[in-house]
Amino acid sequence: MSEQDIEQYRVHEAPYYRPVGDELELYRAAYDARMPVMLKGPTGCGKSRFVEYMAYELGRPLITVACNEDMTAADLIGRYLLDADGTRWQDGPLTTAARIGAICYLDEVVEARQDTTVVIHPLTDHRRTLPLEKKGELVHAHQDFHLVISYNPGYQSLLKDLKQSTKQRFGALDFSYPEAAVEAEVVAHEGGVDAQTADKLVQIAHRARNLKGHGLDEGISTRLLVYAASLIAKGIAPAAACTMTLVRPLTDDPDMRETLDQAVATYF
């Protein structure tokens, strides 16, 4: 692969990431040890942003794969394609990442079937290799290659979980919504609102997060708070902005909506 092809995977501008704990230091050490890393945490709490930031900081290209249950091993590794000149091998994203020394981020990895997930095993132990059986090639991962997966605890059933033999190939970092002051800082920065408005949005989220398991499957994420802030920054009345971004996406239950609307009305 040429430098030009690799260029497309580079993170060119420093992503805004507000550290929440010791995750930067821990990730760096894991990267230095080439220890695969698993990011655990609910939706919209900063996992993807963190990986982009680390890729930028470490100067590594980043290849992200959104996993789903229809995905096959070939979607990760590669396959033969038919074209006018006959057959041609095309590397999948995992193979490309291993060859060029990228950070490969497998997002929502539990969505993939277990027979798909096992292809990462030889890459995640001392071997650091990837056998392309159909092609008859054994790829030795570039020394800078790093594998990161995300995992949303709580969503998967017992049937849909990672095998222990997969889980136990990773060091894990827990992500959650940051403490109020830090989250407000993120919301103000990303959504373009003043500190006071950001504070109020975070307070609303705290109320809603208390309803998790009591009628709500998931609390309001940082992502949704950023959405609310961006609408407010565009001149939308705060109450309407909150209904659109913090209430309606979350639930269709009329009572729950009412409860959330009341929480919004307390602040705006």
Ligand X SMILES: Nc1ncnc2c1ncn2[C@@H]1O[C@H](COP(=O)(O)OP(=O)(O)OP(=O)(O)O)[C@@H](O)[C@H]1O
Q: Does 146 bind ligand X (CB under 6 A)?
A: no
Q: Does 219 bind ligand X (CB under 6 A)?
A: no
Q: Does 201 bind ligand X (CB under 6 A)?
A: no
Q: Does 199 bind ligand X (CB under 6 A)?
A: no
CB atoms within 10 A of CB 243: 16
Q: Does 209 bind ligand X (CB under 6 A)?
A: no
Helix (H) or strand (E) holding 222: helix 222-233
Q: What angle do CA 9, 175, 116 make, to 5 degrees?
A: 55
- Smallest distance from Mg ion to CB 48, Å: 3
Residue of 128, 223, 244, 268 that binds ligand X (CB under 6 A): 223
Q: Which residue has the tokens 């999948």?
A: 92
Q: CA torsion, points 246, 251, 255, 256, in degrees to nearest 10?
A: -50
Q: Does 40 bind ligand X (CB under 6 A)?
A: no
Q: Does 92 bind ligand X (CB under 6 A)?
A: no
Residue of 21, 34, 35, 48 that binds Mg ion (CB under 5 A): 48
Q: Does 128 bind ligand X (CB under 6 A)?
A: no
Q: Which residue has the tokens 């961006």?
A: 230
CB atoms within 10 A of CB 240: 13
Site string for ligand X, 163-182 (x = CB under 6 A): --------------------
Nearest residue to 187 (alpha-carbon basis) of 176, 200, 175, 174: 200
Q: List contacts with Mg ion (CB under 5 A).
A: 48
